[in-house]
Structure 1
Amino acid sequence: MWLDGIYMADSFYATYVSLFEKGNTTAWGEIALQFDLIEEHTRNHTTHLLVHGYDEAKDAVWADPVTGASPLVWNRAVGWYFMALVDTLQVYPKNLPGYARLLKYFVTLADGLARSQDTSGGWWLIMNEGYQTRKGNYLESSAAAMFAYGLLRGVRDGFLEAKYKDVGLKAYNALTRDFIRDDKNGLISFSGTVQVGSLNSNASFEYYTSIPIVENDHRGSGSFMFAAIEAELAK
C-alpha cells in the first residue's frame, strides 16, 4: 500500500458513500480500515510522519524485513495522505468509531508537519530526520501546497487548533514567494514540482532526488489552487 493511493481511492470512495450510501456502515468501516493499515505499517511515532508505503509480503526490494515498510518519507506521498484525511473527515459520519481514529491520525500528522517545516516555510523532498542537509535534497512545491491546503482547511473545519493557521499561511506565503513566476502575459507559472515518485523503484534517496523538477504540473498547480482558496478564506 502507498500513501498516494489513499487519496486516489479512499477520499473519493468516502465522497461516493456519503452521497449515495450514507447508511452503509460496512463501506465506512472499509474506508477507515485502509487508513488503519497505513498507520500501522508506515507511521513513525516519534516524528509523526509516514514513510511512502509498505509491502505486506515484504518481497519488494525496499521492504523492511520486519515491518515491510519503505525507508523514506517522500513529501508528496505525505501530502496526498494529508489531503485524503481532511477530505474524508468532511464526510465521514461522526457517530461511527472510525471517525475518532481518522481525526487522531490527522491531528498527529499536522503536528509532525509543523515540527518538520523549514524556516523558509516549505518542506524538504525527503523529510526523514538528518536528510535536510544531504546533497541533492531540496524544498519541493507540490507537497507544500498540499500541506498548506490541509492545515488551513483543517482549521476552518474545526479539526485543528487555531495555531496551525500560522503554519499553513507560512507555507502559502513561501509558495507565492518562491514558486510563482509572473510570465508577463497575464499568466503565472508554478515551479519546483517533482514530476513523479514511485515504489516501483528501489525507493532510495538517489532515486527520489533524480526525478526531474517541472513547472505547471497539475499535481503542483492544482494543489496550489486548493491552498490559495483556503488562504483567501483564512484572511
Structure 2
Amino acid sequence: MPAAGEILRQRLDLLVEGITALRHDGRFHEPNLDGTAGDYISFDAWEWPQGVGLYGLVRLWQFTGDPAIRRTVEDWYERQIARGLPLLNINTSAPMLALSVLWNETRDPRWALVLDRWADRLVAEAPRTFGGGFQHDVSDKINDHELWDDTLFMAALFLASYGNASGRAELVEEAEKQFLVHAHYLADRETGLWFHGWTFDGAHNFAEARWARGNAWITVGILDLMELAEITPSVRDFLLAILESQVETLLRLQAPSGAWRTLLDDETSYEEISATAGFSYGLLKASRLGIGPEGCREAGLKALAAVMDSIDANGTVANVSYGTRMGHDLQFYRDIPIRPTGYGQALAMLCLVEGLRHVPGLEAVA
C-alpha cells in the first residue's frame, strides 16, 4: 500500500491535470451568475476562478519546485496578457495575486509593469463604500454600496503580496484597511463566523448567510495575509483574534464526514468541498504555526480526508458549489448548483500541499 505522502502527491498530480484540462463544454449555463459559464469553468479565461486556480498552482510550485508547473503558469499569463487584459473590477483582480507571488520569486521583468499598473488602478479607480471599503463590483454587475467577504481574497491579498514584494508599503496599508473595514461589517459577533455581505442601503447583512466558501476565503485570507506581507502588529493581533473566534465555531460545526455545509449553521444545506478544502488548509496551517484553539489539526486532517475522497480519477474535485451572487434569502444558497471549477481545484491543492507538511515523517521537498 502506498505511503500517505505518496497518495497525497498522486492526488496533487491529478489536481494539476484536472484544473488545466477544465473546459466549458456547453453543459452548464447559469445566466444569473456573474460572468459566463465559460469564464467560471474553462481554465483558459481571465476571471476569479482561474485566479484562485493559478494561486493554487503557484503555491504548489513553491512547495515542489516543479518547472513544469511554473511553465504552465507563465504560459497562461503570457497568453492572456497578449490577448489584452479585461476591465478592472474585484473579480478580475484575482489573477494578479498568483502573478505577484510568482514575480516575487523570479523577478521576471515581463510581469513588473503589469502588476504595478493594476495595483495603481485598483487603489485609485475601484469604487468604494462608506469607510473606504472596496465595493464588490464584478464583470457584469455593479453592486452599489455593498461589501462582500470574497473581496479580501480577490483583491486585498494581491495588494498585500505585491506591496510587500515591491517595497510599496502604501499597498500593504491599503490591504490592512480592507481587512479591517470588512471585518467591522461582516464578522458576526454572536458566532465568530462571517456574513456573506453588507449593504449600506438599508444597513443590513442581506440574508445573514453564514456562507461556507465566503468564510473559507477569510480563514485562508487572514493566514496568507500574514505570510505574504509584513503586517502592522496591532492589525495582526486583531485579525488573529477574529480568526480564532471563527475557528472555534467551525470546529463545532464540522459534519461527521469531515466536511462543512454550504450554509455553515444550516443542517438542511448540502456539504460543500471547496469550503471544506479551504478550512482544512487553514486549520492545518494554524496548527502548524501554533495559532488557534486545540483541535485544529485533528479537524483539518479529517477535512483533508473528505477532500481527497472527492477527487475523481480525472483529477476533478466533486461537490463544489458554483459561483454565488449575494443571496437575499437562505434558500438561494441551498439551491446553488454543483459544478467543476478552477477554485475547487485550487483550494484542494492548497489543502493537500499543507497536508503534506502534516504526514508523519514526511519532509517538505522545498
Q: Which structure has more RCO (C-alpha within 8 Å, separation ≥ 6)?
A: 2
**Structure 1 segments unaligned to the other structure (5+ residues):** 59-66
Asked whether 1:69 is paired with 2:205, we answer yes
Question: Equivalent of 1:4, from 150, 155, 163?
Answer: 150
Please name the residue that 1:126 is paired with.
Answer: 263
**AA matched with 1:113:** L
Deviates more, 1:27-36 or 1:205-214: 27-36
Answer yes or no: is the 8 Å Cα contact 1:94–1:100 preserved in 2.
no
Answer yes or no: is the 8 Å Cα contact 1:52–1:72 preserved in 2.
yes
Answer yes or no: is the 8 Å Cα contact 1:93–1:99 preserved in 2.
no
For residues 49 and 152 of structure 1, the distance between their equivalents in structure 2, rounded to whole angstroms, comes to 18
Asked whether 1:147 is paired with 2:316, we answer no
Answer yes or no: is the 8 Å Cα contact 2:159–2:174 preserved in 1.
no
Question: Equivalent of 1:50, from 184, 189, 194?
Answer: 194
Deviation, 1:161, is: 5.1
Q: 1:57 to 1:33 in 2, by over 3 A?
A: farther
Deviation, 1:84, is: 1.0
CA RMSD of aligned residues (A): 1.9
Deviation, 1:83, is: 1.2
Which residues of 2 match residues 141-220 of structure 1 at below 5 A? 141-160=273-292, 163-177=295-309, 179-182=310-313, 187-199=314-326, 202-215=327-340, 217-220=341-344
Answer yes or no: is the 8 Å Cα contact 2:159–2:172 preserved in 1.
no
For residues 144 and 95 of structure 1, the distance between their equivalents in structure 2, rounded to whole angstroms, comes to 29
Question: Equivalent of 1:32, from 169, 173, 176?
Answer: 176
Question: Equivalent of 1:16, from 156, 162, 167?
Answer: 162
**AA matched with 1:98:** V
Q: TM-score, normalised by structure 2?
A: 0.54
SS at match of 1:144: helix
1:205-225, Cα deviation, whole Å (9 max, x unpaired): 22222222013x111111101
Answer yes or no: is the 8 Å Cα contact 2:161–2:172 preserved in 1.
no
For residues 323 and 229 of structure 2, the distance between their equivalents in structure 1, rounded to whole angstroms, comes to 30
Deviation, 1:160, is: 3.4
Deviation, 1:116, is: 1.4
**AA matched with 2:201:** A
Please name the residue that 1:64 is paired with.
Answer: none
Question: Equivalent of 1:91, from 228, 233, 258?
Answer: 228
Aligned residues: 212
SS at match of 1:54: strand
Please name the residue that 1:62 is paired with.
Answer: none
**Structure 2 segments unaligned to the other structure (5+ residues):** 1-146, 360-366
For residues 209 and 242 of structure 2, the distance between their equivalents in structure 1, rounded to whole angstroms, comes to 19
Deviation, 1:126, is: 0.9
Structure having the higher helix fraction is 2
Please name the residue that 2:347 is paired with.
Answer: 223
Q: TM-score, normalised by structure 1?
A: 0.83
